[in-house]
Amino acid sequence: MSDVILRNVNKIYPNGVQAVFDFNIEIEHGEFIVLAGPSGCGKSTTLRMIAGLEEISSGDLIINGKRVNDVAPRDRDIAMVFQNYALYAHMTVYQNLAFSLTIRKVDSDEIHVRVMKAAEILGLTPYLNRKPKQLSGGQRQRVAVGRSIVRNPVVFLFDEPLSNLDAKLRGTMRKEIMLLHKRLNSTFVYVTHDQIEALTLADRIVVMADGRVQQIASPKEMFDCPVNLFVAGFIGTPPMNFYNGEITPDGYFLHIDGTKIKLNDTQREALFDKGYAGKRVVMASRPDYVFVDDAMLSENVDSTIQIDVDYTEFLGAYSLIYGMFGGENIIAKINDRFDTSNRQIKACFEMKKVHFYDVDSTNVIV
Ligand code: ADP
C-alpha cells in the first residue's frame, strides 16, 4: 500500500493564484521523494497541503489509506521538520524529546522507550541531560528531528531544511539526512530548489515548474532522459547544452551555423517516423558527453564540431571548457587539464547520449 497518495490535487489561493495544477503521485512506504524546482513553482504549497497547513482546493490526499483532506495537521500521521528549530531552552534534551508525547498523555513507560530509541538513532544518548544551549548547532538540529521521530509518523516532511547553511555544513547535513532515512526506514517528502540535493537524496525526484509536475523519475532516469527542455536545463551542473537546427532528409542534424552532425540509426528512425525530416528541433547534450580528446574525435568523425573557446576552469579532478559553437554557448567537461592557449578546437558528441526536443512543445522526441 502507498503511504501517501495525491490525486488530481489543485491549489488556488484566495487571491486567485493557482499555485498547483492537477498533482498526481503515489508514494510508497520508505520512499525518499524530493520536490524540486525553481522558486515559486509550487513545491512548498504542495508540501504544506500534505502537512495540512494549506487547504486543498480540489482533489484527494490519502495518507496511510485514509482520505485526510479535512483532518487536522496533528491527526495526520505526519511530522514536519522546520528550518528553524525552536527547542525549549529550560528543558533537557530528554524533556524536549518527550514533550509532545507528554502533552498527548502517552504512557510514561512508552515515552521512555520512544525517547531512548530516538536518542540512539540520532546519537543523542550521551546528551540527554543537557540543555539546548550546551549543544552544538548540529546537535540541536538533531534534537529537533528527534521530536518528530518520537511521534512515529508515517511521513516526514522537510521544507528546504538546509537552505540557510553554508556549503560545508550543507554537505554534512545532507549525509545526516540520508543516514536518518536509512535508519528510520520511513517515508520522506523533501522540498528543495537545489538540484544537487535532489539528485543526491531522492529515490524519486518530482520536478515542478509553474505549478505543474514536469517529470517524476529516479535521479538517474531524470539525468539521462529529461522529458522536456525545462527538466533538461534544471537537472545537472554544469547545465545541458542546447543547439538549434533542423533535421535534413538525408539523416543529419543541420546546426544553424551550417555544421552537419550525423544522426545514429535510432535517432534517424525516431525523428523520421515522427515527421521531423526537414523540421526544426533542439539538440541537447550534457557537457559530460562533449569530448575533445583524440581517441574520441577519431571515433566520432561524423559528429565533430568546432568550438571557439572563451575560457576554461580547472577544478581538480576535471576541467570545464566554456565556448561558442556557431553562436550558441557550449560547455565541455573533460577529465584533464586543458591548454587554454588553443582558442579554436575540435570537439565531438557521443551521439547515443544526445537528445532531440520539439521546438514548440519542448517535449523530448528521442
Ligand atoms: P515554491 O515553494 O516552489 O517557491 P510556493 O509554493 O511557495 O513556491 O508558491 C507557489 C506560487 O503560489 C507562487 O506564485 C506564490 O507567489 C504563490 N503563493 C504562495 N503562497 C501564497 C499565498 N498565501 N497567497 C497567494 N499566493 C501564494
Model confidence pLDDT, tens digit, residues 31-83:
999 999 999 999 999 999 999 999 999 999 999 999 999 999 989 989 988 66
Provide the pLDDT for residue 2. 86
Scanning the structure block, which residue is given the C-alpha cell 544522426?
263
Q: Which residues pair with 319 in a beta bridge?
A: 314, 334
- 165 has pLDDT over 80: no
User: Which comes out higher in pLDDT, residue 176 or 14?
Assistant: 14
Arithmetic mean of pLDDT, 162-173: 80
11 lines ligand 1 (CB under 6 A): no
pLDDT tens by residue, 199-239: 999 999 999 999 999 999 999 999 999 999 999 999 999 99
Which residues in 165-198 are b (16+ Cβ under 10 Å) and which e? beeeebeebbebbeebbeebebbbbbbbbbbebb
For residue 40, how far is its CA from the centre of ligand 1 (angstroms)?
A: 6
* Centre of ligand 1 from the C-alpha of residue 192, in Å: 14
222 to each of 88, 210, 226, 366, how far by Cα in Å? 42, 19, 5, 14
Residue 246 has pLDDT above 70, yes or no: yes
Per-residue pLDDT tens for 329-363?
999 999 877 776 668 999 999 999 999 999 999 99
pLDDT at 84 over 70: no
- Quick: pLDDT tens for 138-152: 888 889 889 989 988
How far, in Å, is the centroid of ligand 1 from the Cα of 285? 33
Mean local confidence (pLDDT), 152-164: 87
Query: How far is it, in rounded angstroms, from Cα 143 to Cα 47?
Result: 22
Ligand 1 midpoint to CA 191 (Å): 13
Report pLDDT for 83: 61
Question: Kind and range of the H or E element at 294?
Answer: helix 294-299
- Residue located nearest, by CA, to atom 13 of ligand 1: 40
Report the amino acid identity of residue 361.
S
What residues pair up with 67 in beta bridges, in sequence order? 62
Binned at pLDDT 50, 70 and 90, residue 116 comes out as very high
Decide if pLDDT at 280 tops 90.
yes
